[in-house]
Amino acid sequence: MTQVVIVGAGPTGATLALLLVQRGINVKLIEASRNFHRVFRGEGLMPSGLDALEQMGLSSMLERIPHRSLDAWEFYIKGRSLFRVNEPIESGGKPVTLVSQPAFLEALINEAKTYPHFEFFPSTPVQDLLWNNGRVAGVKLSDDGTIDADLVIGADGRNSIVRQQANLSLEQQSQSFNILWFKLADSPLFESENVFYVILRDRHAFGLFRGSEGNLQVGWTLHEKDSKDWKHFNWSEMFASASPPPLAEHFRTHADTIERPVLLSVIVGRCQSWSVPGLLLIGDAAHPMSPIRAQGINVALRDVIVAANHLVPLLREKASPEAIDAVLPKIQAEREPEIIRAQQLQGEEAAQAERLVKSALLRWIASHLPSLLKERVRKSWQSRQRQLRQGVQQIRLSV
């Protein structure tokens, strides 16, 4: 039986592994971490991601794990509401849904384990690739063990070891930046409505929302000129001073629950080539995305569908290595236009935010706009979200 080794048991690797084993393919899934409870994991499923999971037959799995839909987006500048957009944005569409990624991954692995031709290797870092006559033939593990493969798939994220060992270069985009990620106690304000707040005051900008597991999460953007001494900031007061009164009060009264932040270095880029003979990169390993509109997990799930469409027929037929290698560039060719467009849209969103951060005049104008102009700004923002929410192209699982 043809054997596939998938490196990385995040949403990309775990969903692809399940799709393949359900279709009779022998899969070994390798994960460096001991468990799925990392300090930071993206939670936001856009309509495109929800649609991809529905096509995979996984919607019912989402219903069994912690999740919660967003009810609205609201933007504040200098303590004043600029505009609000309710979810779902599209008439008759699906709302953005926040899902517990650890619970989701555990459910995917447990389902895959019900198939005899699936094997999971947790806490097993990959050290290198095995090569045979210029073709990747498997992986070498950190304990010096090896696993042979007819195809290796790198789904090990933006810092992909597989990508590095295959000498596939990543071309970084200019929109790379850093974020401080905080968690703190929940607020009753989010019980009736789960609003994603985007808050801008002076040069400070952050997003705030209630996560799928019931705590509040804050993503604070770090700019090049920001003080390097952020570890000693009074963060409760920093958040409160930028927030409208109800949120400000929550930050101050629950200051002792604000956890030490995690520094996230956001890398945005694309590999010129996603493959070499015997190996394919997908998801953030091939094209790390900005966190804007949670594109990483959503475009990766669509990568999985396209990869499965191309690979399953060949792997079922025990096709030759040459036939498998010939289809790998086709996966990239089908997915790359959407990736390029999504990164372009993310860059445009980031550039608009940066203009507001740099210009006190623009911030003042935005915070004092009359209602009619605020409505025009709202409609403009809403219209720009369609492709980031729905995807650029139609993706359909056909195997």
40 pLDDT higher than 80: no
- pLDDT at position 124, please? 96
Interior/surface letters 107-134, b for 16+ CB within 10 angstroms, e for the rest: bbbebbeebeebbbbeebebeebbbeee
Q: What is the pLDDT of residue 176?
A: 61
d(CA 382, CA 74): 12
Residues 6+ apart with CB under 8 A from 279: 129, 136, 151, 152, 153, 154, 162, 166, 328
Q: CA quadruple 255, 257, 260, 266: dihedral positive or negative? A: negative
- Rounded to two decimals, the pTM is 0.94
pLDDT band at 352 (very low <50, low <70, confident <90, very high): confident
Element housing 300 (H / E): helix 295-316
One-letter amino acid for residue 14 of the chain: A
Kindly state the percentage of the chain with pLDDT values over 90. Answer: 76
Sorting pLDDT into bands at 50, 70 and 90, what band is 282? very high
In 3D space, the residue among 148, 60, 43, 147 whose CA is nearest the CA of residue 111 turns out to be: 60
pLDDT band at 42 (very low <50, low <70, confident <90, very high): confident
CATH of 3-38+101-173+268-347, one of 3.40.50.720, 3.10.310.10, 3.30.450.20, 3.50.50.60: 3.50.50.60
- pLDDT tens column, 295-321: 999 999 999 999 999 999 999 999 999
At 78, is the pLDDT very low, low, confident or very high (cuts 50, 70, 90)? Answer: confident
27 exposure class (CB count in 10 Å sphere: 0-12, 13-18, 19+): buried
CA distance 200 to 221: 10
Residue 154's pLDDT is: 98
Pairwise CA distance, residues 219 & 82, whole Å? 19
What is the pLDDT of the chain when averaged over all its residues? 92
pLDDT of residue 213: 81
Where are the chain's structural domains? Answer: 3-38+101-173+268-347, 177-265
Structure confidence at residue 393 (pLDDT): 93
Mean pLDDT across 202-224: 87
pLDDT at 202 over 60: yes
Query: Is residue 336 predicted with pLDDT exceeding 80?
Result: yes
pLDDT tens profile 142-192: 999 999 999 999 999 999 999 999 999 999 887 567 889 999 999 998 988
Give the whole-angstrom CA distance, residue 324 versus residue 277: 8
Q: Within 10 A of 67 (CB to CB), how many other CB atoms are there?
A: 17
Per the omega criterion (within 30 degrees of 0), is the bond before 88 cis?
Answer: yes
- Give the pLDDT band (50/70/90) at residue 38: low
Kindly provide the b/e burial profile for residues 230-261, where b requires at least 16 CB atoms within 10 angstroms of the residue's own CB: eeeeebbebbbebbeeebbebbeeebeebeeb
- SS3 category, 11: helix
Token pair belonging to 55: 């096509």
pLDDT value at position 22? 98
With 0-12 / 13-18 / 19 or more C-beta atoms within 10 angstroms meaning exposed / middle / buried, residue 204 is middle
How far is residue 381 from each of residues 63, 155, 263, 399, measured CA to CA in Å?
A: 30, 32, 28, 37
Rounded CA-CA distance 340/279 in Å is 22
pLDDT at 60 exceeding the cut of 90: yes
Region 217-226: what's the mean pLDDT?
Answer: 80
pLDDT more than 70, % of the chain = 96
